[in-house]
Amino acid sequence: MWIWLGCLVLCLVVDFFYFPNNTTFPDEQRFLASASGLVQTGQFRVGADRAWDMPGPAMFFAVAVYWFGSEWAVTAIRVVQALLVAFQSTMIFTIAVRVFEDRLVATVAATIAAFYPFFIYYQGLLLSETLFNTFLVAGFAGLYWWRSRGLRIDRAFVATCVCFAAATMSKATLTLLPPLLLVATAWAARQPPRRLFELSLAASLLYVMLLLPWWIRNYQTFGTFVPFATGSGINFYIGNNPNSADGGISWVTNVEPEVFQRINAIPDELARQQAFVNAAIEYIKRDPAGFLVRMGKKLARFWNVVPNAAAFNSGIYKVISIVTYGPVLLLAIVGAVRLRKRWDMLLPIGLLMAYFTFVHAVTIASLRYRLPLEPFLIVLAAEPLARAGQWLSNAIQVHQDPK
């Protein structure tokens, strides 16, 4: 309780004394505008587009806009997101207990997560990250709970699917991964093929049912099947065009100005995004070697120990990243090696990390997009850190009492 209370207090101090009373970045303004429009008109839009983002963040922020008005909505959202960070720490504790069966390791993981600077920082921004991370971590807590209950189609199974579907409704990156995570968990637990088929069918059907309202809405809106968000097309293009040599994510420097302006002027949302996808594919076909080189650069950006953005690449931000994320990454690698014989417990985490890394190596990469993986890096890092702490404590006791 002291850990979570300290987390909440720190988040609120950052919210009230570091951040301004309004939004900071354009993406925040986009989410808040969508939430305000949802309250005013009952329609979900992102500017003129109707499915640019997944609707979860706008629905979440709309509650604050409705209850507190635009003037106080930012403050209200930050307070709730501070609570979500504390809740994430609780779920990380639960995951670590299931994986390691060791409360000390779980307490170390929960403590790191409660005071991790990147989580504290992002909860003060009106973005999709905190909401998405909360549902994702809760989904993994449900996944390990489901495994501990015998991998039955029961309330743990349903709760896990609900959390994963809620995460997808908040950010489209998961796409069709959740049913695979459940099946992989059952396979690692050595379930027979027939049982794997039953679970894959049940997980897929339940996941589809949970996403069905969004699909029906999109079909009514567009007259065609739109499963997730349309904004992925432009991201694919930004990461794959002649001016994206450094793997950056700028809409100004990492695009071909004439091509970008021409495609971006297409009024039809689906046609516009398909044109961006086609332009990216054509360029990859012309320069496949360059595509592989850019993937390597985006991998470096994705796992970079220091921030990529020039505004955060020096001074205190750089130092904070090096002394917090740097050790977590190193200890997570050590933890993964130490626990390689327990691969069956770590398989879902490994699949998630491999999937996110691949998606962002192909599209666009940023430290912001790596944030959903950092709770799981913390889980892995906690084991060797806890063991090192135990060794040091024993060494001190022996030194103080030679007998």
Could you give phi then psi for residue 46, rounded to 5 degrees? -120, 95
State the pLDDT at residue 400: 67
For position 1, what pLDDT does the model report? 82
Given a cut of 60, is residue 377 above it in pLDDT?
A: yes
Q: Does position 245 have pLDDT exceeding 90, yes or no?
A: no
pLDDT tens digits for range 73-85: 999 999 999 999 9
Residue in the block written with tokens 């994430």:
88
Determine the pLDDT at residue 89. 96
Average pLDDT over residues 30-47: 94
pLDDT at 389 over 90: no
Cβ within 8 Å of residue 317, ≥6 positions away: 307
**pTM (predicted TM-score):** 0.95
CB 177 within 8 A of CB 135: no
CA distances from 34 to 31, 71, 90, 108, 392 (A): 5, 16, 30, 38, 52
Q: What is the mean pLDDT of the chain?
A: 93
Cβ-contact 250, 262 below 8 angstroms: no
Contact present, 354 and 304 (Cβ < 8 Å):
no
Quick one: average pLDDT of 101-126?
95
> Does pLDDT of 234 surpass 70?
yes
DSSP 332-364: HHHHHHHTGGGHHHHHHHHHHHHHHHHHHHHS-
Taking 70 as the threshold, does the pLDDT of residue 401 lie above it? no
Query: How high is the pLDDT of residue 206?
Result: 97
pLDDT in tens, 292-310: 999 999 999 999 998 887 7
Rounded to an integer, the average pLDDT of 197-222 is 97
Residue 106 has pLDDT above 90, yes or no: yes
What SS3 class is residue 46? strand
Alpha-carbon radius of gyration of the chain: 22
Both tokens of 167, joined, read 């995460």
Q: pLDDT by residue (tens digit) across 339-362?
A: 988 899 999 999 999 999 999 999
Query: Do the Cβ atoms of 328 and 112 come closer than 8 Å?
Result: yes
User: What is the pLDDT, as a whole number, of residue 395?
Assistant: 77
* Higher pLDDT, residue 318 or 396: 318
Determine the Cα–Cα distance for residues 84 and 126; give it in Å rounded to an integer: 13
> Which position has the token pair 């022996």?
398
> Hey, how many other C-beta atoms are within 10 angstroms of the C-beta on 42?
8
At 403 the pLDDT is 57
State yes or no: pLDDT of 253 exceeds 90.
Answer: no
Share of the chain above pLDDT 70, in %: 99
Alpha carbon separation from 328 to 85, 377, 388 (Å, rounded): 18, 7, 14
Q: Is pLDDT of 289 > 90?
A: yes
The average pLDDT across 44-68 equals 95
Q: What's the residue count for the chain?
A: 403
- At residue 221, the pLDDT reads 95
Q: What is the CB neighbour count within 10 angstroms for residue 88?
A: 27
